[in-house]
């Protein structure tokens, strides 16, 4: 026993290190197979030459990025100008996603606050109720929303029956319908992180603020919001990013009259001509933008914690 003791520490740390490798191995395999390889493939494909009707030729080119940024006219022989088509699609998608995120925040924050301030035993029930709709497939939920807001649907029938409106509101196939769909799809992603932050909030801080003659709004602004901010930001990121690539809601509720980033990419792989490098390039540009936003956020967070 005594003789073994001196070497014991180093042996166990070696065993420990070996175990660590074995233990984190699977997560690296998963990240590698399901994240890194697809992302690298996407980036590589975006620099290859397109083959007509899908597929690629292994000749490197910047044609896909050229198509994204420069407009050479319908027949490709005009002097290049800035191509606004795709930038416009990006801008519309960002705007839609931002509106949906704002809507989620406005409804989600009070909801999360309400749940977090209930009796601890009730909270589980409320959270459970928030998650119930998410047992149903996203497609079915989106179609249901369509049924609800269509001109002949229950919402318009009710409004007309009660005499609030004379004619259907014409909600379907509008940007608002898309935002409503995105909002409904991703609301729990906003509620849950904010709930987690509010639950940890020490309510004696609010009392202390009140003791110092702080009004309700001042307390909210100066005490509560800074404390639960990480939850709000996490919620916004979780809603914004999937909304940005969504194509179900725009297709079903917005009438698919305009491309979103998601449907633009889909068309490159499923459409008649098929342009895989261009689809990959759009995906790569989208990923780059999201990465940049997240990096800026991470830096801001890092500075703050110093």
- Determine the interface stretch with other proteins among 13-21, 103-111, 199-207, 262-270 (rule: CB under 8 A): 262-270
Q: Does 57 bind other proteins (CB under 8 A)?
A: no
Query: Minimum distance from CB of 159 to other proteins (Å)?
Result: 17
**Which candidate, 66, 70, 67, places its Cα nearest to that of 81?**
70
Q: Does 80 bind other proteins (CB under 8 A)?
A: no
Give the separation between CA 82 and CA 107, rounded to whole angstroms: 39
Choose, by CB under 8 A, the member of 230, 242, 245, 274 that binds other proteins: 274
Window 7-46: contact mask with other proteins (x via CB under 8 A): ----------------------------------------
**Nearer to other proteins among residue 70 and residue 203 (C-beta):** 70
Q: What are the C-alpha distances in Å from 64 to residues 21, 61, 203, 212, 238?
A: 40, 8, 55, 61, 29
Site residues for other proteins, 147-176, by CB under 8 A, read: 150-152, 172-173
CB of 146 to other proteins, least distance (A): 8
Cα dihedral 167, 172, 175, 180 sign: positive
**236-239: long-range pairs with CB below 8 Å, 24+:** 236/101, 236/104, 236/105, 236/190, 237/294, 237/297, 238/186, 238/189, 238/190, 238/193, 239/97, 239/100, 239/101, 239/104, 239/182, 239/186, 239/187, 239/189, 239/190
Q: Check residue 82 for interaction with other proteins (CB under 8 A).
A: no
246 binds other proteins (CB under 8 A): no
List C-alpha distances in Å: 220 to 101, 201, 213: 20, 12, 13
Contacting residue, 1, 4, 75, 164, with other proteins by CB under 8 A: 75
Rounded least distance, CB 271 to other proteins, Å: 6
Q: How far apart are CA 49 and CA 55, in angstroms?
A: 9
Handedness of CA 140, 146, 152, 155 (dihedral sign): positive
Nearest distance in Å: CB 290, other proteins: 22
In the complex, least distance from residue 286 CB atom to other proteins, rounded to whole angstroms: 16
Q: Does 55 bind other proteins (CB under 8 A)?
A: yes
Least distance CB 20 / other proteins (angstroms): 37
Q: Which of 80, 255, 295, 297 binds other proteins (CB under 8 A)?
A: 255
Q: Take residue 7 and report the two structure tokens written for it.
A: 């070497």
* Residue numbers at the binding site for other proteins (CB under 8 A): 52-55, 74-75, 85-86, 88-89, 150-152, 172-173, 251-252, 255-259, 264, 267, 269-275
């Amino acid at each position: 026993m005594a003789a073994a003791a001196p070497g014991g520490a180093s042996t166990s740390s070696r065993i420990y290190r070996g175990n660590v490798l074995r233990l984190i191995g699977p997560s690296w395999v998963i990240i590698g197979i399901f994240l890194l390889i697809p992302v690298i493939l996407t980036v590589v494909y975006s620099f290859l030459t397109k083959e007509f009707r899908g597929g690629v030729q292994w000749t490197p080119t910047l044609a896909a990025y050229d198509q994204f940024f420069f407009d050479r006219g319908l027949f490709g022989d005009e002097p290049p100008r800035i191509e606004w088509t795709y930038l416009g699609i990006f801008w519309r998608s960002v705007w839609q996603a931002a509106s949906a995120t704002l809507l989620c925040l406005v409804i989600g924050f009070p909801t999360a606050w309400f749940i977090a301030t209930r009796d601890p035993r009730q909270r589980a029930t409320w959270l459970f109720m928030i998650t119930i709709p998410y047992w149903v497939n996203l497609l079915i939920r989106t179609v249901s929303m369509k049924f609800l807001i269509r001109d002949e649907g229950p919402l318009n029938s009710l409004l007309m029956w009660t005499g609030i409106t004379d004619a259907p509101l014409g909600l379907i196939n509008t940007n608002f319908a898309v935002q409503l769909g995105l909002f409904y799809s991703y609301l729990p992603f906003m509620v849950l992180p904010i709930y987690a932050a509010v639950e940890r909030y020490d309510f004696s801080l609010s009392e202390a603020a009140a003791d110092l003659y702080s009004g309700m709004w001042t307390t909210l602004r100066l005490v509560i919001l800074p404390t639960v901010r990480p939850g709000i930001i996490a919620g916004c990121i979780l809603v914004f990013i999937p909304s940005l690539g969504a194509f179900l809601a725009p297709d079903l509720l917005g009438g698919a009259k305009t491309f979103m980033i998601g449907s633009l990419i889909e068309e490159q792989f499923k459409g008649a001509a098929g342009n895989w490098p261009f689809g990959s390039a759009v995906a790569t540009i989208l990923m780059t933008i999201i990465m940049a936003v997240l990096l800026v956020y991470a830096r801001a967070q890092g500075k703050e914690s110093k």
